Amino acid sequence: MILRVLSVLCVSALFFCVALATSAQPYPSRLIRIVVPLPPGGSNDVVARLIAEKLGTGLGQPAVVENRPGASGNIAAEFVAKSAPDGHTLLMANTAHVINPSLFARLPYDPIRDFAPVALTTSVHFALVVHPSLPASSVKGFIALARARPGTVTYASAGNGAPHHLAMELIQSMTGTKLTHVPYKGAGQFVPALVSGEVVSVIGAINSLLPHVRSGRLRALGMAGPRRTPLLPEVPVIAETLPGFALDNWGGMLVPAGTPRPVVERLNTEITKALRDPQVRNRMVPQGIEIITSTPEEFQDLMKSHMAKSAKLIKAANIKLE
């Protein structure tokens, strides 16, 4: 009897030790995925790939980017929310992450509760850009044209509820104009459509639009943020014509809720280090991508604040998905 008890105790102790060793595996123990909610080619994708390159070196495991576009980012967000909370799956989130709760009646995840913030990464300059065939050379001219031709001026977005969509809906609500929304799956699709004249306007990230603006194939009318950019110093801010207009646009890394705090802190350290790398900075800044670093708590506060602000704006402007 005593031998049997000892045998059971030994087996139990063995299982405990194995479980303890497994749970104490060093992080990371395998490939790291950064899930991007948009197709390749846009600012989110650019930032994710630059970070992945440095993150893999810093963590000693390969880091890859996985694009999961669709449903205004909901497909990617749901996938990450339901992934193992072990720091091996990250979401390259953007502003749409906290806008979506005000636009969709039901989401398969909670944008705050189901994620642990890691770090802010970037703020991207957005601009109102038009095809040269559109007879408008200023924000004032664009608004006048939209008023004169209701419903005939088209605009692109990266999908229903994306910042591009919300920004143009805000212009319509503030000016009493009617534009026609043409949603795409991301900048990789709508930039060629804009250059070809398939669609005639967009409020989009300038990193993908800048080469075409500089070549004359597109025309920039106004910056959507609070200030001008040195990359296009001659382009005024939209708010100079339309007081009160502003588009906040940020990017940041999230992991599933329940990810251990030491893992979150390690990721924050390595992502911050990657963003401060001169090579990364020199590739981002010329594209109109500003680098922003933060603690997890600062990122959490920003998301909550922006979600409340977006909800108020969407309700006041009566913005609805098509």
pLDDT in tens, 259-270: 999 999 999 999
Domains in the chain: boundaries: 32-124+249-317, 127-240
Three-state secondary-structure class, residue 95 = coil
Instruction: Give burial (CB, 10 Å; 0-12/13-18/19+) of 282.
Output: exposed
How does residue 8 score in pLDDT terms, banded at 50, 70 and 90? very low
| Strand bridging mode 32-36 / 89-94 | parallel
Place domain 127-240 in its CATH homologous superfamily: Periplasmic binding protein-like II (3.40.190.10)
Q: CA 303, CA 178: separation in Å to the nearest integer?
A: 30
How does residue 320 score in pLDDT terms, banded at 50, 70 and 90? low
- In the CATH scheme, what is the code of domain 32-124+249-317? 3.40.190.150
Highest mean pLDDT of the ranges 67-76, 113-122, 227-236: 113-122
Q: Do domains 32-124+249-317 and 127-240 have the same CATH topology?
A: yes
Q: Which are the contacts of 271, defined by CB distance < 8 A and separation ≥ 6?
A: 51, 55, 118, 119, 121, 253
| Strand bridging mode 63-67 / 32-36 | parallel
Query: Would you say residue 67 has pLDDT above 90?
Result: yes
Choice among 48-52, 101-105, 150-154, 220-224 with the minimum mean pLDDT: 101-105
Of the candidates 233, 238, 195, the residue with the CA atom closest to the CA atom of residue 213: 195
